[in-house]
Amino acid sequence: MYILMATPECAPVAKAGGLGDFVQGLSRELAAQGHQVEIILPKYDCLRYDRVQGMTPEHADLWVPFYERAVHCDVEVGEVDGLTCYFIDAHSEHGFFNRGAIYGDADDPDRFTFFSHAILAFLIASGRRPDIIHCNEWQTGLLPVLLFERYTALGLEKTRVCYSLHNLGHQGWSTPTVLEMNGLDVGRLMTPDRLQDPGNSQAVNLMKGGIVFSNFVTTVSPRYAWEIQHSDQGVGLQGVLRTHDRKFGGVLNGIDTTIWNPATDPFIAAHYDLEQLPAKGGNKRALRERLGLTDAPKPIVAVVSRLDRQKGIELIRHGIDASLARDAQFVLLGSAQDPAINALFWDAKQALAEHPDVHLELGYDEELAHLIYAGADMILIPSVYEPCGLTQMIAMRYGCVPIVRRVGGLADTVFDANYSDRPYEERNGYVFDEPTFEGLESALDRAIGLWRDYPDHFRQLRLNGMRMDNSWARPAQDYLNIYEHIRVRA
Ligand SMILES: Nc1ncnc2c1ncn2[C@@H]1O[C@H](COP(=O)(O)OP(=O)(O)O[C@H]2O[C@H](CO)[C@@H](O)[C@H](O)[C@H]2O)[C@@H](O)[C@H]1O
């Protein structure tokens, strides 16, 4: 099968969070199973060019419709960790992809609908005819709309769309000008059953467009699939998702177990696996050395996260003091877009600058993240909502025990050491329900208590987590079944 991944992110070249891992991991697994998988991304100025091999021109003089005119683009191709990746270079006066960051500008709906449009224009101009375009997030929500409204008739009649939702907190709300910009009929599309936002009749909702016009819609865990249809976690799209229930389902994400592998990871200090768990200690020492923490018989509690409201900012902040109060060490690697959240953590960093048991690293650092998973004993994930969550899966693979709130994919992957109804060998972490300081502290108490008083039991929890199969093998098969189901057979 020929599958094209349409996405604003792909690790390691353009990653702001878990979407980048999703695209890379699923694509590599599908390619390993013999499918033709290609990825298409904007050619951002902030791409990690050092991770692209053999970037060469692929298609010159692509003209992408833009209002009454067209914008000149070039398409380049390169290899990213063995995958073919196309990059759309837009020579627009707006510098659409030259903003120094992937997201965060007021005209993001313009930038990414332009990208979606450019993908279809490229397919037509270059004669490529994928069986499946796998779209992701609101950024590519307009692609199936454009496909159905315009491009099917221009030669893509056999291409079908699978659309994955990774976060309902961002739906691509915009004004109808974004439809005009792309030559679409506003009157026809701004209706309650098409792109009109359910909560604001003046607004276009790009994610809703993707849901309505795609052949199949997925989200990234079964629990989140239920939550967004039946609770306010759907952020207004509950009704739309229930209407389209017959083409909607939750597929639990995997992680790329080649890239996230403590036995071979090039970014960690000491390699280890199930049989050589004590070697993990070398990473704890290296982490302390790198971040200036004292070497003492204390557990390290870590957070690796985008610092966004979704992730439970107050609880993360409280987790620092709560860990220190329990004589644990605390390490945070976090990047915030919101200036208020950024300021909150900079203040904490300054206040704790002299403390020998804590280090807050504010920013994005892929390599350091690997060392933290390998060196820490526990990872704290107190999310308000969590579509899937990859950090708990990565942490478990590295023998780092997750402490999580019971939401979304966290509830589907972490089973409480004391209270789960699963067999003991499947229990792998600590789970709390209420998004309160008390809830978090009760789980933290149990985790730190076990680490201190029953090290053998704690070791068993680490091993249970390391044994879990969170690879892409099974979810990739689920996606292949979906692709087969919607695909047009010749
Ligand atoms: N400051 C930092 N420096 C370095 N690395 C950092 C970092 N902050 C985060 N990361 C890395 O980014 C990834 C984050 O994964 P999450 O699942 O938490 O994703 P996120 O919420 O971004 O994605 C959304 O999409 C994914 C994929 O579907 C869902 O799992 C998730 O629930 C949903 O919110 C991990 O690989 C983590 O190591």
Q: What average pLDDT score do residues 34-62 get?
A: 97
Q: What average pLDDT score do residues 246-263 get?
A: 97
Cα-to-centroid distance, 489 and ligand 1 (Å): 36
Cβ–ligand 1 distance for 402 under 6 Å, the answer no
Q: What average pLDDT score do residues 439-468 get?
A: 98
Domains and CATH numbers, the chain: 2-255+473-486 (3.40.50.2000), 274-467 (3.40.50.2000)
Asked if pLDDT for residue 397 goes beyond 80, the answer is yes
Q: What average pLDDT score do residues 270-276 get?
A: 97
Q: What average pLDDT score do residues 271-298 get?
A: 97
Instruction: Specify the long-range contacts of residues 95-104, CB closer than 8 Å, at least 24 apart.
Output: 96/42, 97/42, 97/43, 97/44, 97/45, 98/44, 98/45, 99/44, 99/45, 99/46, 100/45, 100/46, 101/46, 102/8, 102/9, 102/14, 102/16, 102/44, 102/46, 103/8, 103/16, 103/337, 104/337
Confidence of residue 488 (pLDDT cuts 50, 70, 90): confident
Cα-to-centroid distance, 103 and ligand 1 (Å): 15
Count of beta carbons in the 10 Å neighbourhood of residue 320: 23
Residue with CA at minimum distance from ligand 1 atom 24: 18
Per-residue pLDDT of 293-327, as tens digits, reads 999 999 999 999 999 999 999 999 999 999 999 99
ipTM for this prediction: 0.99
Asked if pLDDT for residue 82 goes beyond 80, the answer is yes
158 is in an annotated binding site: no
Question: Mean of the per-residue pLDDT values for the chain?
Answer: 97
Spatial contact of 22 and 16, defined as CB atoms under 8 Å apart: no
Cα-to-centroid distance, 230 and ligand 1 (Å): 24
Cβ–ligand 1 distance for 334 under 6 Å, the answer yes
Cβ–ligand 1 distance for 78 under 6 Å, the answer no
pTM: 0.95
Q: What average pLDDT score do residues 153-166 get?
A: 97
Distance, in Å, from the CA atom of 332 to the CA atom of 25, rounded to the nearest integer, reads 25
**Rounded percentage of the chain residues whose pLDDT exceeds 90:** 99
Confidence of residue 490 (pLDDT cuts 50, 70, 90): low
Asked if pLDDT for residue 391 goes beyond 80, the answer is yes
Confidence of residue 91 (pLDDT cuts 50, 70, 90): very high
Per-residue pLDDT at 462: 98
Asked if pLDDT for residue 162 goes beyond 70, the answer is yes
Choosing from 253, 383, 391 the residue with most ligand 1 atoms within 8 A of its CB, the one to mutate for a pocket test is 391
Q: What average pLDDT score do residues 192-200 get?
A: 98
Cα-to-centroid distance, 389 and ligand 1 (Å): 7
Per-residue pLDDT of 167-185, as tens digits, reads 999 999 999 999 999 999 9
Asked if pLDDT for residue 489 goes beyond 80, the answer is no
Q: What average pLDDT score do residues 443-465 get?
A: 98
Asked if pLDDT for residue 110 goes beyond 90, the answer is yes
- The CA-CA-CA angle for residues 161, 473, 269, to 5°, reads 120
